[in-house]
Amino acid sequence: MLYEVNYSAVLIFSVIVGFTLWLSFYLGKSAQSASGFFAAGGNIHWFVNGVAFAGDYLSAASFLGICGMIAFYGYDGFLYSIGYLAGWIVALLVIAEPLKRMGKYTFADALDSQFNSKGIRLAASLSTLAVSIFYLIPQMVGAGVLVKPLFGLDHWVGVTMVGAVVILIVTTAGMVSTTYVQFLKGGLLVVFSAILTVMILNRGFTVIDPDLKAEQLADQVVTKLADGSKLVNGLPQGKGDGQADLRPVGSVLELPDGAKETGPLGPLEFFRVFQDSKVALWRDKKDGDTTTYFAQPTSGAEILRPGNHPNFKGIRGDNLLVKVNFLSLMLALFCGTAALPHILIRYYTVKDQASARKSTIVGITTIGFFYVLTLYLGIGAMTSGSLDVTTSNMAAPLLAKSFNNFLFAMISAIAFTTVLGTVSGLIIASSGAVAHDLVSIIVKKPLEDAAKIRIAKIASVVVGVIAIALGILFQNMNVSYLVGWAFSVAASANLPALVMVLFWNRTTKQGITASILVGMASSLAWILLSGDTYSKVYGWNAADSFVPFSQPGIVTIPLSFLTLIVFSLAASPRDRIGNSSK
């Protein structure tokens, strides 16, 4: 679908970016010390930190990806909402308070607090960089995906623009400005999603006009030509005479009792009516360079049950490996959140364990509330008549457009801010891993704060530039798929080490180092050899892959635990927690 440049979105986004940059420069003096730069001096209020957790965590994958997936496939997208939130319970009940007690600036601090081991620092910093880079790519790709239709700019311009702004935010005031960008973004995202939900409920459902039904449900055919241009239904794609563009889609075909419209609906009534209705979902069929998009009438009851998305279809069948793949994904989502370095470092920005606990409770409430809204936003988009059949990522902004242009501009600008907030967190986590952990392995003498901050700023620029380059390089890659990589690697590499260092006093530095390296290597190898990667990345036959299913967590998380236990038992008791030389 072709989009017109949305100047209101440009204006709102510019105001938000301008405000965050002003705030960054204003707060710059708070980041003169290492503690100020990496952990905001531990002075962030627990409520601000809680909302900033939401701003850090609710990435482009959560906002654009989940809404889009629900809009195209129904309940399956909601499974991600449930899995992503469940991980926060692990963070609150198991990780938050001990991590705050043991750590200082980075995830490695907590693991190494009782060992003083270069091996642990090296392994933890490598896993921080690996997870952060995997998480950065989809955010940057998401920025490029948004900028093209909304601002009329090329993908690389959007990626470079977001990268440059984030580098500026991080290098001026480190974690202080990052926190307030995330607070602002988390607050805006939840408030405007709630407003959008109220408007969806107020609008209710309306059956498609019978006179327009045949025209609106007709197949749409897109043909890619050798020069990169496209034909839509046999005509050159465009808005002018003799040209054609794709129609926006998404309509209700039938309502219960033959009603034509429902009027305003209550929050539960919305689903009761929807499950007894019939909706047109859009599917595609590829034949060489030609893709045909066709409407598939589907009952609401079918949409509101798991198993519609190609990745989840198997759970309704008898193939055990497909079911194991699903279990593995849900395990990775459960274990991954509490092992994401950019989330963990937020615990160092508050003053004590009680604040860590309270901020996680605020985070869970904010994130949980948002995830409840995702089902309304997704179903609202599905029936809004504004979806783009070629991409699910635009479902949330286009839903807003179906109400009015201001909301469209606001939601689009928030989507950009979403990228800024998450990328800032990732870059600061990476720069901490380099300046605080990697450099301490190489340089024997402890660094002065000023030197540490200088290295962190250089690392921020380098990681930012790498993120820009990867965002341009991977522009055609599925963004949710890459986020899945990050969760699997984090859950396999980091969580076993964190849990065991807290709960098993026979844990040794050798066990932790081996566990992180084995968890990271095995999960990465599994992903690279999986059927999903074969078909989606290499363009090979998925059946030729080396591993029986694509999600590694169910194998690599236990493997990482086992490695830690075996290496710890094999090591000398002198190397156990509390016995290591300081």
Partner 1 sequence: MHHGENVKEIEDPISIAKNRQRGLVLFGVYSFIYAAYVLTNTFQHQWMEETWVLGLNNAIVSGFGLILSAILIAFVYGFLCRPAGPKKEA
Candidate list 102, 153, 157, 315; residue touching partner 1; CB under 8 A: 315
Of 50 and 432, CB closest to partner 1: 50
* Least Cβ distance, residue 45 to partner 1 (angstroms): 3
**Interaction between residue 205 and partner 1 (CB under 8 A):** no
Question: Interface with partner 1 by CB under 8 A: which range of 106-114, 154-162, 353-361, 380-388?
Answer: 353-361
* Least Cβ distance, residue 22 to partner 1 (angstroms): 14
**Interaction between residue 51 and partner 1 (CB under 8 A):** no
Site for partner 1 in 58-87 (CB under 8 A): 75, 78-79, 81-82, 85-86
**Interaction between residue 313 and partner 1 (CB under 8 A):** no
- The contact pattern for partner 1, residues 275-294, with x = CB under 8 A and - = no contact, is x-------------------
**Interaction between residue 371 and partner 1 (CB under 8 A):** yes
Question: Interface with partner 1 by CB under 8 A: which range of 62-70, 269-277, 506-514, 571-579?
Answer: 269-277
**Interaction between residue 97 and partner 1 (CB under 8 A):** yes
User: Which residues, 6+ apart, have CB-to-CB distance to 364 below 8 Å?
Assistant: 85, 88, 89, 92
Look at the block and give the residue holding tokens 């090296």.
122
Of 352 and 544, CB closest to partner 1: 352
d(CA 398, CA 570): 58
d(CA 412, CA 151): 10
Candidate list 230, 247, 358, 401; residue touching partner 1; CB under 8 A: 358
Helices 7-26 and 405-432 pack at an angle, to 10 degrees, of 40
d(CA 345, CA 336): 15
User: Which residues, 6+ apart, have CB-to-CB distance to 320 below 8 Å?
Assistant: none
- The contact pattern for partner 1, residues 24-43, with x = CB under 8 A and - = no contact, is ---x---------------x
Candidate list 207, 330, 426, 428; residue touching partner 1; CB under 8 A: 330
How big is the chain by its Cα radius of gyration, in Å?
Answer: 24
* Least Cβ distance, residue 31 to partner 1 (angstroms): 13
- With contact defined as beta carbons under 8 Å apart, do 417 and 13 qualify? yes
Bridge partner list, 354: none
Task: For 36-88, give the DSSP string.
Answer: HHHHGGG---HHHHHHHHHHHHS-HIIIIIIHHHHHHHTHHHHHHHHHHHHHH
* Least Cβ distance, residue 312 to partner 1 (angstroms): 9
**Interaction between residue 103 and partner 1 (CB under 8 A):** no
**Interaction between residue 48 and partner 1 (CB under 8 A):** yes
d(CA 37, CA 15): 25
Candidate list 201, 253, 304, 458; residue touching partner 1; CB under 8 A: 304
Look at the block and give the residue holding tokens 């017109």.
4
Of 227 and 318, CB closest to partner 1: 318
d(CA 512, CA 527): 22
Of 176 and 489, CB closest to partner 1: 176
**Interaction between residue 357 and partner 1 (CB under 8 A):** yes
- C-alpha dihedral (180, 184, 189, 192), degrees to nearest 10: 170
**Interaction between residue 219 and partner 1 (CB under 8 A):** no
Is the Cα dihedral 361, 362, 363, 364 positive or negative? positive
- With contact defined as beta carbons under 8 Å apart, do 279 and 252 qualify? yes
What sections of 260-352 are H helices per DSSP? 267-275, 300-303, 320-336, 341-344
Question: Interface with partner 1 by CB under 8 A: which range of 45-53, 289-297, 528-536, 568-576?
Answer: 45-53
Candidate list 1, 12, 64, 90; residue touching partner 1; CB under 8 A: 90
Of 90 and 387, CB closest to partner 1: 90
Percent helix, strand, coil in the chain, to 5, is 70, 5, 20
* Least Cβ distance, residue 473 to partner 1 (angstroms): 35
Bridge partner list, 281: 296
* Least Cβ distance, residue 307 to partner 1 (angstroms): 6
**Interaction between residue 57 and partner 1 (CB under 8 A):** no
**Interaction between residue 305 and partner 1 (CB under 8 A):** yes
d(CA 30, CA 32): 6
Binding site for partner 1 (CB under 8 A): 27, 43-45, 47-48, 75, 78-79, 81-82, 85-86, 88-90, 92-94, 97-98, 101, 268, 271-272, 275, 301, 304-307, 315-316, 323, 326-327, 330, 334, 351-354, 357-358, 360-361, 364-365, 368-369, 371-372, 375
